[in-house]
Amino acid sequence: MNVSLLIEVRDMQIELAMIRQDIHAHPEMATEEQRTSALVASKLKEWGLTVTAGVGRLGVVGTLKSLKPGNRSIDLRADMDALELIEKNNVSYVSTKLGTMHTCGHDGHTAMLLGAAKYLSKHHDSFYGTVQFIFQPAEENLEGAIAMMNDNLFERFSVDALYGIHNVPEQLGTFSIRPGPLMAASNR
Protein backbone atom coordinates (compact mmCIF):
# COMPACT_ATOMS: atom_id res chain seq x y z
CA MET A 1 0.00 0.00 0.00
CA ASN A 2 1.29 3.44 -0.93
CA VAL A 3 1.62 5.26 2.40
CA SER A 4 2.00 8.71 0.82
CA LEU A 5 -1.29 8.17 -1.06
CA LEU A 6 -3.06 7.28 2.18
CA ILE A 7 -1.65 10.34 3.93
CA GLU A 8 -2.64 12.66 1.09
CA VAL A 9 -6.16 11.25 0.89
CA ARG A 10 -6.51 11.46 4.68
CA ASP A 11 -5.45 15.11 4.50
CA MET A 12 -8.27 15.77 2.00
CA GLN A 13 -10.84 14.10 4.25
CA ILE A 14 -11.87 17.22 6.19
CA GLU A 15 -12.43 19.29 3.05
CA LEU A 16 -14.37 16.51 1.34
CA ALA A 17 -16.49 15.91 4.44
CA MET A 18 -17.32 19.62 4.51
CA ILE A 19 -18.31 19.52 0.83
CA ARG A 20 -20.48 16.45 1.43
CA GLN A 21 -22.13 18.04 4.46
CA ASP A 22 -22.78 21.26 2.53
CA ILE A 23 -24.44 19.33 -0.29
CA HIS A 24 -26.39 17.29 2.28
CA ALA A 25 -27.63 20.45 4.03
CA HIS A 26 -28.75 21.95 0.70
CA PRO A 27 -30.39 19.05 -1.16
CA GLU A 28 -31.89 19.57 -4.60
CA MET A 29 -34.41 17.34 -6.29
CA ALA A 30 -33.90 15.96 -9.80
CA THR A 31 -33.72 18.74 -12.43
CA GLU A 32 -33.21 21.37 -9.68
CA GLU A 33 -29.48 20.88 -8.95
CA GLN A 34 -28.37 24.45 -9.78
CA ARG A 35 -26.53 25.05 -6.49
CA THR A 36 -24.83 21.66 -6.49
CA SER A 37 -23.78 22.03 -10.13
CA ALA A 38 -22.32 25.47 -9.41
CA LEU A 39 -20.43 24.12 -6.38
CA VAL A 40 -19.02 21.23 -8.41
CA ALA A 41 -17.95 23.51 -11.28
CA SER A 42 -16.32 25.93 -8.85
CA LYS A 43 -14.27 23.22 -7.13
CA LEU A 44 -13.16 21.67 -10.42
CA LYS A 45 -12.02 25.08 -11.70
CA GLU A 46 -10.24 25.77 -8.41
CA TRP A 47 -8.24 22.56 -8.92
CA GLY A 48 -7.29 23.44 -12.51
CA LEU A 49 -9.61 21.20 -14.52
CA THR A 50 -11.27 22.30 -17.73
CA VAL A 51 -14.95 22.62 -16.84
CA THR A 52 -17.97 22.30 -19.09
CA ALA A 53 -21.13 23.23 -17.22
CA GLY A 54 -24.68 22.99 -18.47
CA VAL A 55 -24.28 19.63 -20.20
CA GLY A 56 -27.88 18.52 -20.55
CA ARG A 57 -28.76 21.73 -18.68
CA LEU A 58 -27.40 20.90 -15.20
CA GLY A 59 -24.65 18.34 -15.79
CA VAL A 60 -21.00 19.20 -15.25
CA VAL A 61 -17.96 17.61 -16.89
CA GLY A 62 -14.46 18.25 -15.61
CA THR A 63 -11.62 17.28 -17.95
CA LEU A 64 -8.09 16.54 -16.78
CA LYS A 65 -5.38 15.79 -19.31
CA SER A 66 -2.22 14.04 -18.22
CA LEU A 67 1.17 15.63 -18.62
CA LYS A 68 2.18 12.32 -20.23
CA PRO A 69 1.19 11.50 -23.81
CA GLY A 70 -1.87 9.37 -24.35
CA ASN A 71 -5.05 9.38 -26.37
CA ARG A 72 -7.27 7.16 -24.21
CA SER A 73 -10.00 8.56 -22.01
CA ILE A 74 -11.52 7.19 -18.83
CA ASP A 75 -14.69 8.76 -17.50
CA LEU A 76 -15.81 8.64 -13.87
CA ARG A 77 -19.43 9.44 -13.00
CA ALA A 78 -21.41 10.47 -9.93
CA ASP A 79 -25.00 11.57 -9.40
CA MET A 80 -26.09 14.73 -7.55
CA ASP A 81 -29.85 14.69 -6.90
CA ALA A 82 -31.73 14.23 -3.63
CA LEU A 83 -35.02 12.55 -2.78
CA GLU A 84 -38.39 13.72 -1.50
CA LEU A 85 -38.19 12.59 2.13
CA ILE A 86 -38.27 14.28 5.52
CA GLU A 87 -34.93 14.10 7.31
CA LYS A 88 -35.14 13.06 10.94
CA ASN A 89 -31.41 13.05 11.68
CA ASN A 90 -30.02 15.29 14.39
CA VAL A 91 -26.74 16.39 12.81
CA SER A 92 -25.25 19.84 12.27
CA TYR A 93 -25.68 19.49 8.50
CA VAL A 94 -29.33 18.36 8.52
CA SER A 95 -31.31 19.24 5.39
CA THR A 96 -32.37 22.88 5.33
CA LYS A 97 -35.09 22.07 2.80
CA LEU A 98 -38.10 20.47 4.47
CA GLY A 99 -39.20 17.35 2.64
CA THR A 100 -35.98 16.94 0.63
CA MET A 101 -32.87 15.07 1.70
CA HIS A 102 -29.96 12.96 0.52
CA THR A 103 -30.98 9.46 1.58
CA CYS A 104 -29.46 7.60 -1.36
CA GLY A 105 -25.92 8.87 -0.88
CA HIS A 106 -25.59 11.16 -3.87
CA ASP A 107 -24.05 13.83 -1.62
CA GLY A 108 -21.34 11.30 -0.83
CA HIS A 109 -20.99 10.22 -4.46
CA THR A 110 -20.44 13.83 -5.51
CA ALA A 111 -17.90 14.44 -2.74
CA MET A 112 -16.03 11.21 -3.57
CA LEU A 113 -15.77 12.10 -7.26
CA LEU A 114 -14.60 15.60 -6.36
CA GLY A 115 -11.97 13.95 -4.17
CA ALA A 116 -10.76 11.85 -7.08
CA ALA A 117 -10.61 14.98 -9.25
CA LYS A 118 -8.63 16.90 -6.65
CA TYR A 119 -6.18 14.04 -6.09
CA LEU A 120 -5.58 13.42 -9.80
CA SER A 121 -5.25 17.16 -10.50
CA LYS A 122 -2.24 17.12 -8.18
CA HIS A 123 -0.83 14.03 -9.89
CA HIS A 124 -1.61 14.49 -13.57
CA ASP A 125 1.94 13.41 -14.31
CA SER A 126 1.17 9.93 -12.95
CA PHE A 127 -1.19 8.66 -15.66
CA TYR A 128 -1.54 8.69 -19.44
CA GLY A 129 -4.41 10.18 -21.43
CA THR A 130 -7.47 11.97 -20.11
CA VAL A 131 -9.79 11.55 -17.16
CA GLN A 132 -13.24 13.10 -17.38
CA PHE A 133 -15.38 13.56 -14.29
CA ILE A 134 -19.10 13.46 -15.11
CA PHE A 135 -21.50 14.89 -12.54
CA GLN A 136 -25.01 13.83 -13.52
CA PRO A 137 -28.17 15.56 -12.35
CA ALA A 138 -31.58 13.89 -12.13
CA GLU A 139 -30.43 10.30 -11.75
CA GLU A 140 -33.48 9.25 -9.75
CA ASN A 141 -35.93 9.99 -12.57
CA LEU A 142 -33.47 9.20 -15.42
CA GLU A 143 -33.96 12.68 -16.91
CA GLY A 144 -30.36 13.73 -16.26
CA ALA A 145 -28.78 10.87 -18.20
CA ILE A 146 -31.20 11.35 -21.07
CA ALA A 147 -30.60 15.12 -21.14
CA MET A 148 -26.82 14.71 -21.07
CA MET A 149 -26.90 12.09 -23.82
CA ASN A 150 -29.26 14.26 -25.90
CA ASP A 151 -26.68 17.04 -25.45
CA ASN A 152 -24.16 14.71 -27.17
CA LEU A 153 -22.19 13.91 -24.02
CA PHE A 154 -20.23 11.06 -25.58
CA GLU A 155 -19.69 12.84 -28.89
CA ARG A 156 -18.34 15.93 -27.10
CA PHE A 157 -16.27 13.93 -24.60
CA SER A 158 -14.82 10.77 -26.10
CA VAL A 159 -14.64 7.81 -23.75
CA ASP A 160 -12.86 4.48 -23.81
CA ALA A 161 -14.17 3.33 -20.43
CA LEU A 162 -16.79 4.68 -18.05
CA TYR A 163 -17.03 3.90 -14.34
CA GLY A 164 -19.71 4.90 -11.88
CA ILE A 165 -19.99 4.42 -8.16
CA HIS A 166 -22.90 3.83 -5.82
CA ASN A 167 -22.74 3.20 -2.11
CA VAL A 168 -24.27 -0.01 -0.79
CA PRO A 169 -24.50 -1.34 2.74
CA GLU A 170 -21.50 -3.66 2.57
CA GLN A 171 -18.85 -4.44 5.14
CA LEU A 172 -16.65 -1.41 5.80
CA GLY A 173 -13.63 -1.27 3.50
CA THR A 174 -15.03 -3.57 0.82
CA PHE A 175 -16.43 -3.00 -2.65
CA SER A 176 -18.01 -5.07 -5.39
CA ILE A 177 -16.91 -5.17 -9.00
CA ARG A 178 -17.33 -7.42 -12.01
CA PRO A 179 -16.35 -7.32 -15.68
CA GLY A 180 -18.84 -5.71 -18.04
CA PRO A 181 -21.93 -3.58 -17.47
CA LEU A 182 -23.48 -3.55 -14.03
CA MET A 183 -26.55 -1.97 -12.39
CA ALA A 184 -29.53 -0.05 -13.76
CA ALA A 185 -30.03 0.25 -17.51
CA SER A 186 -26.68 -1.40 -18.19
CA ASN A 187 -28.31 -3.39 -20.96
CA ARG A 188 -28.59 -0.26 -23.14
Amino acid at site 75: D
pLDDT in tens, 167-183: 877 888 887 777 877 76
| CA 174 – CA 30 distance, rounded (Å) | 29
Using CA atoms of 85, 86, 89, 95 in order, give the dihedral in degrees to the nearest 10: 90
What are the residue boundaries of the structural domains of the chain, listed by start?
A: 3-164
Residue 188 has pLDDT above 80, yes or no: no
pTM over 0.85: yes
pLDDT in tens, 114-155: 999 999 999 999 999 999 999 999 999 989 999 999 999 999
Domain range 3-164, CATH class = alpha beta
pLDDT in tens, 86-99: 999 999 999 999 99
Q: What is the spatial order of strands in the sheet that 68-79 belongs to?
A: 50-55, 59-65, 128-136, 68-79, 161-164
Which one, of 105, 102, 108, lies nearest residue 89 by Cα? 102
